């Protein structure tokens, strides 16, 4: 389960990059506005697993809260960089767990890392 949560967090991040969010002007950086952050995460996840409208409504507040907390961590000048990294990783894992709980089994499977899927069983050789 832990690998799946970590993988979902990674996929969501990659999906955001693929959605074009990084191409926004600096004044509209998703890491400066929790609304933009939430919208970009929703677009990325939706592109991967085709969210229902109901799922989008439930997931947006989760991504918004993550964006708010992430921005606060990044702006906290009292935290050393390694602690920021640890807090951000913990935040991503918590968010990924919440997101996973709101997805259908088929959607979770679509995001699961290939290593968690069973490999094909090799067939015995029929040549003698």
One digit per residue, the tens of pLDDT, for the chain of length 128 reads 555 555 555 555 555 444 444 444 543 477 889 999 999 999 999 999 999 999 999 999 999 999 999 999 999 999 999 999 999 999 999 999 999 999 999 999 998 776 654 555 555 555 55
CB 43 within 8 A of CB 86: no
Q: Is 38 exposed, middle or buried (0-12, 13-18, 19+ CB in 10 A)?
A: buried
Q: CA dist 58 to 30, 51, 52, Å?
A: 20, 10, 10
* 80-106 burial code (b ≥16 CB/10 A, e <16): eeeebeebeeebbebbbbbbbeebeee
Q: Are 85 and 93 in contact (CB under 8 A)?
A: no
């Amino acid at each position: 389960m832990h690998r799946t949560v970590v993988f979902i967090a990674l996929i969501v991040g990659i999906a955001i990059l693929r959605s074009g969010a990084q191409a926004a002007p600096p004044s509209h950086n998703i890491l400066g506005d929790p609304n933009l952050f939430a919208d970009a995460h929703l677009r990325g996840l939706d592109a991967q697993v085709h969210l229902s409208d109901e799922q989008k409504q439930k997931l947006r507040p989760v991504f918004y809260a993550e964006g708010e907390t992430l921005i606060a961590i990044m702006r906290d000048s009292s935290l050393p960089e390694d602690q920021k990294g640890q807090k951000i990783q913990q935040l991503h894992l918590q968010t990924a767990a919440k997101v996973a709980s709101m997805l259908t089994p088929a959607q979770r499977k679509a995001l699961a890392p290939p290593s968690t899927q069973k490999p094909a069983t090799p067939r015995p050789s029929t040549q003698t």
